[in-house]
């Protein structure tokens, strides 16, 4: 572990020329012909100035390596890699969380503007000049971000980056329109607002949404094929239905061919069944055959086929995505490795270099963690990391390090009496009897709530006293929480998701109690959430634990899919608002077949006047919130044709196109969501079958664990090394480690690195064999370009595109 | 190929004692302690009587071997294998197609009786004594069948066979009830009629339905777990909804806790969305959150989870079923092999023995085909079949043998001029240009039909002349069919499913033309089927061909699933009829929330009187056909609650239980159908990916092909052998072969055996590696019991149960 201070990097990056290792010449800037070439310093040049410039060039190397590794992690293609010092400045500016947050906020602001624009939500309405100015401001910010991107990417790459180009065009249009609005002081028909989500999708933080969209588009071709089959059968049956039923004057569903097609399209969603059949059925009972055959073919066969095809494509796409990401990461690691090795030892990365890299890659990481990460990578025990060691970089980097506690319990250091009390509580809390007693309490609580609720025949009255049972059960739950915390310790208690759930439910119930006691009406809804406590019962059975665990694992992906759906909703909501705002109102659609649903009349029965309401006028596009609710109703599909027919009767029959398109789009997204859930669950179950490991095993919950032992001498030596050789200033963490080692009295201390298991880890294990093949294939293609490796860095687009297709 | 005439079977079966090979003793019957023991004949006993008895005992062996192989094919367990000659007679009586057909017809008759019983279909109503007598007759037949089964199985096995016992009990109950009906001359509340499908399910021909039911029951445990989760969330939300919305007097959906639960159950099916939300939504816009969260959790998450879990279980069950079937077949082959080998050559089956077996196994097979099948099995070319050869028995047995034609075309033997003409037609028909021209014609026809139909604004009038376009297009299609038949030959033309489809559509169109021309009104529906011609367009794209091919492959399974569904329908229909017959009628449910749907009133607008109909009274349980339609509507789910509420308002609120149970049952069956379709498609696609073979490859369409060459000397020798040694009388097929060989002038002739590919073949290829493992595992467990192999035959239940779990 002796790092020669005069190690020279094998490869000099970006501004090697301007950094002073070679003679200074100003025209070296931007000249990257000599970038990445091996540089041979003149012997005996190790004077102070040389030392400094050497350190500077190492620092540049660390930085570039860190950038490579970040690109690998984020799946950024290497052809957007910064090429010289100037570009680097723009790159660094555009790649930090401040910039990302600004990007996100601007995009969200732009989208939120539609709350206040023309058909605005009543209590958020803004004057035209206010919201137009806000929009212009946001657009200027977006333009600024784009300029930074242009500076970083260079004009050439910028032009060829499709997403950025589309964004630029949309920006341009939005700019002009915002100015027009400002000048005219009124909003015109601005359908282009539907394109605003592009700014959100382009955000760094919305990478998951981008991936979802890509996956949706990749699943489209087979989807469209089957969709055509579906529509084809629909048209055939529409012609058939028209021929068969148009003679029946009582049948409004098949009067013209267009009626016939629309009826069967709606029937595809089952929304007008059995009504669509009834007039024909009442005339001849045999006519039901037509509908049964149609539904059997379309709904029960072709629709499922659609799911099967999407599921299959989705499966393949997931695997290919995993493969390309894996190889991209590997390539990033190789690039970084080349930058970190020195001329003297070209096949290993020393601690010093690794530490330098980590200072750029993870600035917040403590010196101790950097050292422990190095040790975790360094399985062979040599002084340097080989490329094979370094390949595990991404597996190790997310680990949280903690000294392994010598004792079992948090109260081990307590005096004898206290220890025995806590030990008793610990044993009690861990006992099966205690657990089942709690299940019993929850079950009784559930039955109590059910019975209690059932006795309120005249609705729930809130202005009563706090019910007695509430206090009793809450007390029991409170005691349980306290006992558990006392017995297990705060850390252990909260490390289990189930305990966290118990805790929050109990706290909520407590807040509800306070709300009741102090009569705070707006918080009554908390009281109502009480029944959720019953969910705890599902811990009893293994399968439920698995299902709920998988649910939590899926949650991030589900959230991103939900966000994707919301983006589609947003675009459709804007279009809907532009065309259909204010077209439906009570008693509006009297000349349509769905008039009843829009009726609002006073009916006098005897001497009582009652308001008979159809309510459907509430499903409108009058503002963006109403539009969202309306679109959700359309997504659920049931009775969607009432909304469609209502709007159609007030506008033209081309409006149907909007609703039908929306149905098909949501069908795509929903099918993909179903395919995703199917895929995720089947994958998890296959995984646990393959590894003969029960799901939700305690081992499983721990996630990925690495262990590293540090001896006292090693710790002191490292501290010394950091202090004197690396010139790192903030060493408190390392010093703490040395102190802890001394205090413990042992000669060495064990450290545990932990992180939760991700889908990628599961995939790694699932595709174990295939991964080896991929690696071999990858290294074969790489071997061919091995001699040209350095040249490869100049034109990495080839290899980058290799990985993406 | 010289079969020693005095070969003695290695094992003597059933009536070895009574057949005269050993000294006759009558008490040998039923004494199966010495069955399956190796019998050593006294040397020099080959006199005529010995010869005869030897032949007889061989015949017995052939028959038992054939029975073993049949049991293997039909997945009958070996513990129902006949043990002695008397049992054999009962077995043979109960195992032939006449018996099976009788079984089926009796069961169908029993089920059809409900068309004529009490709430009968009007035009099929029968007097009580007529249908009761018919029923008694059918039940007597069933009883007779059961007696035969009892004789075959023996009392002990009969008692332990669960399905048969259930059938006996049901039979008993039905008997008593039928007599009661006959005595009282009126039908009482006969819910037990719902059990009638048991007779159908027990039929030999309904094996697929039995398998489906078993699969459904096997998928149930995980299904029920998730269902409980679903219902649990429902109850929690019901309590929540009741607390939140019961204060709103305009909201009928959450008035009591029961209302609340029912509303949310219906919401689970989306059938009352968005209506259920509207009263609350109109009061406070925030209430939509409750419904959105509920639907997101229940409909979009838990429901899909249900599918995922069922899909996963289904997958596993399919594979295990395939494994157990495969091993069962292997075991059957081994049993049969032991019966076919002789003492002299205990490791090979000679042609004579194979031929003897096949005469029992496949009595209709010609001598030539028996010989060719033997050759196909006999890959090594030795005179006898080893066990390894014999393992392929089931792969080879279904082959249809045909001499390979020497020429390419059917018109090869025509005179020169005719040959050239037909050759030209052949080339034309096979050309891409011709195909695309036909696609163009079909497309134009489609557009024509669409435009033509669109011009009928006032409904289709049938009493017009035959449209000109119809005749033109029909002529083109007719010419196409004739050209194709002329160019490809009748056999080649009809061997393609697509051509068959073209042909039948064209013939239908022609029949339609005749119907139009001769004004035969009832056949007009044929004309209406014209648009189906457009389906031909889907041949263009590979993916559609795959999809449609897979569809045809799936058809048998789909049909059996459909039948399973119908059986469920039947039971529910009977229960529905018994309780709800005649309860709904026009204007019946005026005190319910769905009164509108049952209304039938005359409305006078101006001076026109119009009948306003709700039509839902048509969805009743008044007879079994109406019940089926009603149940289909409930399956489609949309607006099912209208039927439920209508019936409930006329009876008690316990009726809801019937509808909810039905919903859950159909949900199970439907989920399994979806899982099946998913599984089948994903399997097909994985298969074609794994074997790097495009789906719908021409090679694929051919199915499984075996080739066998027969030389002239071999043919003559075989003929001789059959004539003199085997004593087979019907040898015309072998003689034809010899003649064909002579006429062809070649010294040998190639025969092709073909059969279509089944799912089992695909599975064989898919699980190739696993199958080897299974076999090894199987032979390991077998090796341990190898010495006790013969004893094993006496108590094969152990190995049979081994296979089934």
Nearest chain B residue to A245, by CA: B459
Mean pLDDT confidence for B282-298 = 90
Q: Taking a contact as any Cβ pair under 8 Å apart, which residues of chain B between 739 and 768 contact chain A?
A: none
B613 at A interface, C-beta within 8 A: yes
B282 contacts A618? CB cut-off 8 A: yes
B247 at A interface, C-beta within 8 A: yes
pLDDT at B763: 80
Pick from B540, B188, B703: which is nearest to A229 by CA? Answer: B540
B274 contacts A619? CB cut-off 8 A: yes
Neighbouring-strand partners of residue B706: B753
Q: Which of A297-301, B85-89, B173-177 has the lowest mean pLDDT?
A: B85-89
Asked if B248 and B277 touch (Cβ cutoff 8 Å), the reply is no
Q: Which residues of A touch B255 (CB under 8 A)?
A: 459
Task: Give the relative orientation of helices A85-94 and A128-160 as an angle to the nearest 10 degrees.
Answer: 140
A670 contacts B532? CB cut-off 8 A: no
B292 contacts A615? CB cut-off 8 A: no
Phi, psi (5° rounding) for residue A803?
-80, -25
B273 at A interface, C-beta within 8 A: yes
What does the alpha-carbon distance between residue A317 and residue A220 come to, in Å, rounded to a whole number? Answer: 12
Q: Which residues of B touch A272 (CB under 8 A)?
A: 638
Test mutation, B318, B529, B638, B681, chain A, max A CBs within 10 A: B638
What are the start-end ranges of the H helices in B6-124? 48-74, 85-94, 97-112
A29 at B interface, C-beta within 8 A: no
Q: What rounded mean pLDDT belongs to chain B?
A: 80
Collapsing DSSP to helix, strand or coil, B462 comes out as coil
A311 contacts B678? CB cut-off 8 A: yes
A531 contacts B450? CB cut-off 8 A: no
Q: Taking a contact as any Cβ pair under 8 Å apart, which residues of chain A between 109 and 128 contact chain B?
A: none
Q: Which residues of B touch A279 (CB under 8 A)?
A: 613, 615
pLDDT at B686: 78
pLDDT at A29: 36
Mean pLDDT confidence for B724-730 = 70
Q: Taking a contact as any Cβ pair under 8 Å apart, which residues of chain B between 571 and 600 contact chain A?
A: 596
What does the alpha-carbon distance between residue B350 and residue A654 come to, in Å, rounded to a whole number? Answer: 78
A534 contacts B236? CB cut-off 8 A: yes
Residue with tokens 């259920």: B276
B281 contacts A615? CB cut-off 8 A: yes
Of B239, B292, B682, the CB nearest to A449: B239
Test mutation, A239, A523, A546, chain B, max B CBs within 10 A: A239
Which carries the bigger pLDDT value, residue A390 or residue B629? B629
B288 contacts A638? CB cut-off 8 A: no
Cβ-proximal residues to B213 (8 Å cutoff; 6+ apart), any chain: B201, B564
Test mutation, B253, B636, B644, chain A, max A CBs within 10 A: B636
Neighbouring-strand partners of residue B601: B612
pLDDT at B111: 92
Query: Which residues of chain A are modeled with pLDDT < 50?
Result: 1-4, 16-46, 695-701, 786-805
B528 contacts A243? CB cut-off 8 A: yes
pLDDT at B661: 93
Mean pLDDT confidence for B267-294 = 89
B641 at A interface, C-beta within 8 A: no
Residues in chain B, total? 805
pTM above 0.90, yes or no: no
Q: Which residues of A touch B674 (CB under 8 A)?
A: 304, 307
What does the alpha-carbon distance between residue B265 and residue B783 come to, in Å, rounded to a whole number? Answer: 56
Nearest chain B residue to A524, by CA: B244
B288 contacts A618? CB cut-off 8 A: no
Cβ-proximal residues to A566 (8 Å cutoff; 6+ apart), any chain: none
Asked if B648 and B655 touch (Cβ cutoff 8 Å), the reply is yes
pLDDT at B387: 84
pLDDT at A309: 85
Asked if A43 and A93 touch (Cβ cutoff 8 Å), the reply is no
Mean pLDDT confidence for B718-732 = 75
Burial class (CB in 10 A: 0-12, 13-18, 19+), B292: middle
pLDDT at A110: 92
Of B244, B531, B636, the CB nearest to A273: B636
B244 at A interface, C-beta within 8 A: yes
Mean pLDDT confidence for B116-142 = 89
A270 contacts B243? CB cut-off 8 A: no
Element (H, E) at B710: strand B704-711
B542 at A interface, C-beta within 8 A: no
pLDDT at A794: 41
B305 contacts A528? CB cut-off 8 A: no
Of B225, B246, B311, the CB nearest to A543: B225
Q: Which residues of A touch B307 (CB under 8 A)?
A: 674, 678
pLDDT at B784: 59
Of A300, A307, A673, the CB nearest to B678: A307
pLDDT at B318: 82
B232 contacts A618? CB cut-off 8 A: no
Query: What's the gap in Å between the CA of A698 and the closest CA on chain B?
Result: 22
pLDDT at B378: 81
Is residue B354 predicted with pLDDT exceeding 60?
yes
Mean pLDDT confidence for B777-804 = 50
Q: Which of A50-59, A438-447, B765-774, B790-799 has the lowest mean pLDDT?
A: B790-799
The alpha carbon of residue B53 and the mean position of all alpha carbons in its chain are separated, in whole angstroms, by 43
pLDDT at B338: 85
Listing from the earlier edge strand, what are the strands of the sheet with B748-755?
Answer: B400-403, B748-755, B704-711
pLDDT at B46: 45
B633 contacts A246? CB cut-off 8 A: no
pLDDT at A240: 86
Mean pLDDT confidence for B591-613 = 78
Residue-wise pLDDT for B440-459, tens only, equals 888 888 888 888 877 775 55
Asked if B544 and B538 touch (Cβ cutoff 8 Å), the reply is yes
DSSP 8-class letter at B29: T
B674 contacts A304? CB cut-off 8 A: yes
B270 contacts A637? CB cut-off 8 A: yes
Residue B575: pLDDT band by 50, 70, 90 thresholds? very high
B531 contacts A239? CB cut-off 8 A: yes
B535 contacts A236? CB cut-off 8 A: yes
A155 at B interface, C-beta within 8 A: no
Query: What's the gap in Å between the CA of A516 and the closest CA on chain B?
Result: 14
SS3 assignment for B759-788: HHHHHHHHCHHHHHHHHHHHHHHHHHCCCC
A229 contacts B282? CB cut-off 8 A: no
Q: Which residues of A touch B282 (CB under 8 A)?
A: 613, 615, 618
């Amino acid at each position: 572990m002796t790092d020669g201070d005069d190690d020279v990097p094998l490869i000099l990056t970006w501004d090697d020329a301007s950094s002073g290792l070679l003679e200074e010449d100003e025209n070296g800037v931007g000249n990257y012909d000599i970038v990445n070439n091996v540089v041979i310093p003149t012997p005996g040049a190790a004077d102070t100035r040389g030392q400094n410039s050497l350190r500077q060039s190492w620092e540049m190397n660390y930085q570039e390596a860190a950038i490579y590794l970040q690109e690998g992690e984020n799946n950024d293609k290497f052809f957007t890699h910064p090429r010289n010092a100037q570009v680097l400045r723009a790159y660094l500016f555009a790649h930090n969380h401040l910039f990302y947050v600004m990007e996100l906020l601007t995009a969200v602001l732009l989208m939120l503007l539609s709350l206040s624009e023309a058909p605005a939500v009543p209590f958020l309405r803004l004057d035209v000049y206010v919201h137009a100015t806000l929009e212009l401001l946001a657009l200027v910010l977006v333009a600024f971000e784009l300029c930074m991107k242009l500076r970083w990417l260079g004009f050439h790459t910028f032009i060829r980056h499709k997403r950025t180009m589309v964004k630029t065009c949309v920006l341009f249009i939005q700019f002009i329109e915002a100015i027009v609005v400002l000048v005219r002081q009124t909003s015109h028909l601005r359908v282009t607002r539907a394109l605003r989500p592009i700014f959100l999708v382009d955000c760094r933080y919305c990478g998951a949404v981008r991936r979802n969209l890509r996956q949706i588009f990749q699943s489209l071709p087979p989807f469209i094929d089957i969709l055509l089959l579906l529509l084809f059968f629909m048209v055939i049956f529409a012609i058939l239905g028209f021929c068969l039923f148009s003679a029946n004057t009582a049948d409004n569903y098949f009067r013209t061919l267009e009626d016939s097609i629309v009826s069967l399209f709606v029937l595809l969603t089952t929304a007008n069944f059995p009504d669509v059949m009834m007039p024909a059925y009442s005339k001849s009972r045999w006519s039901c055959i037509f509908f049964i055959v149609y539904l059997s073919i379309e709904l029960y066969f072709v629709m499922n086929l659609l799911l099967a095809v999407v599921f299959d494509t989705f499966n393949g796409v997931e695997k290919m995505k995993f493969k390309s990401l894996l190889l991209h990461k590997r390539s990033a690691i190789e690039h970084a490795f080349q930058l970190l090795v020195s001329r003297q030892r070209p096949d290993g990365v020393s601690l010093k270099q690794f530490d330098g890299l980590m200072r750029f890659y993870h600035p917040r990481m403590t010196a101790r963690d950097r050292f422990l990460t190095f040790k975790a990578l360094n399985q062979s025990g040599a002084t340097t990391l080989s490329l094979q060691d370094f390949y595990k970089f991404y597996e190790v980097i997310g680990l949280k390090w903690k000294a392994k506690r010598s004792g079992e319990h948090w109260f081990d250091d307590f005096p004898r009496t206290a220890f025995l009390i806590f030990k008793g509580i610990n044993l009690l809390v861990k006992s099966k009897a205690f657990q089942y007693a709690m299940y019993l309490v929850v079950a009784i609580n559930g039955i109590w709530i059910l019975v209690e609720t059932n006795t309120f025949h005249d609705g729930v009255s809130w202005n009563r006293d706090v019910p007695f049972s509430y206090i009793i059960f809450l007390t029991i739950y409170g005691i349980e929480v306290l006992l558990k915390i006392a017995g297990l310790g705060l850390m252990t208690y909260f490390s289990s998701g189930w305990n966290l759930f118990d805790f929050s439910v109990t706290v909520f119930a407590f807040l509800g109690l306070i709300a009741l006691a102090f009569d705070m009406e707006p918080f009554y809804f908390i009281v109502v959430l009480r029944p959720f406590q019953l969910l705890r019962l599902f811990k009893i059975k293994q399968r439920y634990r698995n299902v709920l665990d998988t649910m939590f694992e899926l949650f991030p992906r589900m959230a991103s899919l939900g966000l994707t759906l919301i983006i589609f909703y947003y675009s459709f909501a804007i279009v809907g608002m532009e065309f259909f705002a204010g077209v439906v109102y009570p008693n509006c659609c009297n000349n349509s077949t769905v008039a009843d649903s829009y009726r609002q009349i006073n009916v006098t029965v005897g001497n009582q006047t009652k308001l008979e309401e159809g309510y459907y006028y509430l499903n409108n596009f009058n503002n963006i919130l109403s539009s969202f609710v309306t679109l959700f109703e359309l997504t659920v599909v049931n009775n969607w044709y009432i909304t469609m027919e209502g709007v159609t009767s007030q506008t033209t029959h081309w409006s149907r196109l909007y609703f039908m398109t929306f149905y098909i789009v949501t069908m795509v997204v929903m099918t993909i969501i179903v395919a995703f859930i199917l895929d995720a669950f089947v994958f998890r179950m296959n995984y646990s079958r393959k590894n003969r490991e029960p799901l939700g095993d305690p081992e499983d919950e721990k996630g990925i664990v690495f262990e590293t032992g540090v001896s006292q001498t090693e710790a002191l030596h490292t501290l010394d090394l950091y202090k004197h050789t690396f010139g790192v200033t903030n060493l408190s963490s390392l010093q703490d480690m040395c102190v802890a080692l001394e205090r413990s009295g042992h000669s060495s201390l064990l450290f545990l690195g932990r992180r939760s298991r991700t889908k990628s880890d599961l995939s790694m294990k699932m595709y174990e064999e295939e991964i080896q093949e991929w690696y071999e294939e990858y290294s074969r293609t790489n071997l061919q370009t091995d001699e040209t490796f350095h040249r490869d860095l100049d034109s990495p687009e080839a290899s980058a595109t290799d990985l993406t297709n």
